[in-house]
Amino acid sequence: MANSKYDVTAIGNAIVDVLAHAEDKFLNDQKLTKGAMSLIDTATANRLYGLMNAGVEASGGSAANTVAGLAGLGGKAAFIGKVAGDQLGKAFSHDIRAVGVDFDTPTLASGVPTARCLIFVTPDAQRTMQTFLGACVDLGPEDVKESKIANSEVVYLEGYLFDPPRAKEAFFKAAKIAKQAGKKVSLSLSDPFCVGRYRAEFLDLIANHIDILFANEEEIKSLYQVTDFDQALQKVRGHCEVAALTRSEKGSVVVKGDEVHVIDAEKVAKVVDTTGAGDAYAAGFLYAYTQGKGLRAAGKLGGMMAAEIISHYGARAESDLKQMAKKAFA
């Protein structure tokens, strides 16, 4: 797919992660929903940060993680998201550009700080995320440049964009431009609670705008309000062109009409931190997909990327991804 300037342009919340270990008791005491992403206000962010263990700061954001991974693999990517001109915003901008992602969304100068996600990693390697959206609430359709979207094979959107007020408009603007340009529109459902917040809108969106859907087992079951994965699988088959459904240690299932690929999970010596596993899967999948490698190869590389991410702390890769891509396509 060498005709477009970009393989993937992603739109998402531009977030810096603050990762720290936590005990389950802490999550219970603070009434945090384990494994989920919850939105918090400034006061709660300050209070929880005060109670948090010593942390590490690293660029995050679901769709941003995905394009960072895709660029690391060798793909051409752009990102649209809103940071402030503060130290965290500079770190986010540096990190995503350093991996080769084109990022030029105007910086917010209102004084509202860059978004932060406090990530509590429990001993079982599960992550619980508390997000202060900060500058992200200012992302709007004016930040979506037609030339960028029309020059991307795939536009990738995170479901989390339905949380900040005007990002949804940016989302639909991008989907419309992509469709008119004959490009693919891809969505990640992001989080089962995010699906709960916007189920009706997501169902409509998938039917009318989405070509490639990413979801994990909990998210796809929440979307269709079914208790069984196979029921959800049957429903999604007729709902969008391609669905890539991740199932943690059970691997993933990629479905396109009658074509179904069941892909085993990669072996991981020790699962350290599951933050960014789904984002990494989408990165591997979309890189293989935009390289024309087929759906099975896409699911395979997605699984390899997820295995890399969960074997260390943090949501961005530490390994040489170009070597991984070479190995996957050998």
Interaction of residue 193 with a copy of itself, rule CB under 8 A: no
Q: Look up residue 257 and give its amino acid.
A: G
Strand residues in 102-233 grouped as ranges (E): 102-103, 115-121, 127-132, 152-158, 184-188, 212-216
Residue from 29, 41, 56, 208 touching a copy of itself (CB under 8 A): that is 56
Instruction: Quickly count helices (H) and strands (E) in the chain.
Output: 12, 14
Residues 137-166 that bind a copy of itself (CB under 8 A): none
Nearest by Cα to 213 from 255, 153, 248, 179: 255
Residue from 10, 14, 32, 58 touching a copy of itself (CB under 8 A): that is 58
The DSSP symbol for 275 reads: T
The residue whose two tokens read 């959206």 is: 133
The residue whose two tokens read 């900060």 is: 134
Our CB check for a copy of itself shows the closer of 94 and 326 to be: 94
In angstroms, rounded to a whole number, what is the distance separating the alpha carbons of residues 25 and 31?
A: 10
Our CB check for a copy of itself shows the closer of 4 and 311 to be: 311
In angstroms, rounded to a whole number, what is the distance separating the alpha carbons of residues 226 and 242?
A: 20
Interaction of residue 170 with a copy of itself, rule CB under 8 A: no
Interaction of residue 172 with a copy of itself, rule CB under 8 A: no
Nearest by Cα to 248 from 208, 218, 206: 218
Our CB check for a copy of itself shows the closer of 78 and 175 to be: 78
Interaction of residue 85 with a copy of itself, rule CB under 8 A: no
Residue from 67, 68, 117, 255 touching a copy of itself (CB under 8 A): that is 68
> What burial letters (b/e) apply to 258-285, b meaning 16+ CB within 10 Å?
eeebebebbeeeeeebbbbbbbbbbbbb
Residue from 70, 313, 324, 328 touching a copy of itself (CB under 8 A): that is 313
| Beta-bridge partner residues of 116 | 16, 132
Please choose, out of 47-55, 143-151, 183-191, 223-231, the segment that lies near a copy of itself by the rule CB under 8 A: 47-55
CB atoms within 10 A of CB 215: 26
Interaction of residue 215 with a copy of itself, rule CB under 8 A: no
Interaction of residue 271 with a copy of itself, rule CB under 8 A: no
Please choose, out of 14-22, 136-144, 191-199, 215-223, the segment that lies near a copy of itself by the rule CB under 8 A: 14-22
Residue from 27, 44, 55, 311 touching a copy of itself (CB under 8 A): that is 55
Residues 87-106 that bind a copy of itself (CB under 8 A): 87-88, 91, 94-96, 98-99
- Residues contributing to the site for a copy of itself (CB under 8 A): 18, 20-21, 49-50, 52-59, 68, 86-88, 91, 94-96, 98-99, 113, 312-314, 316, 318
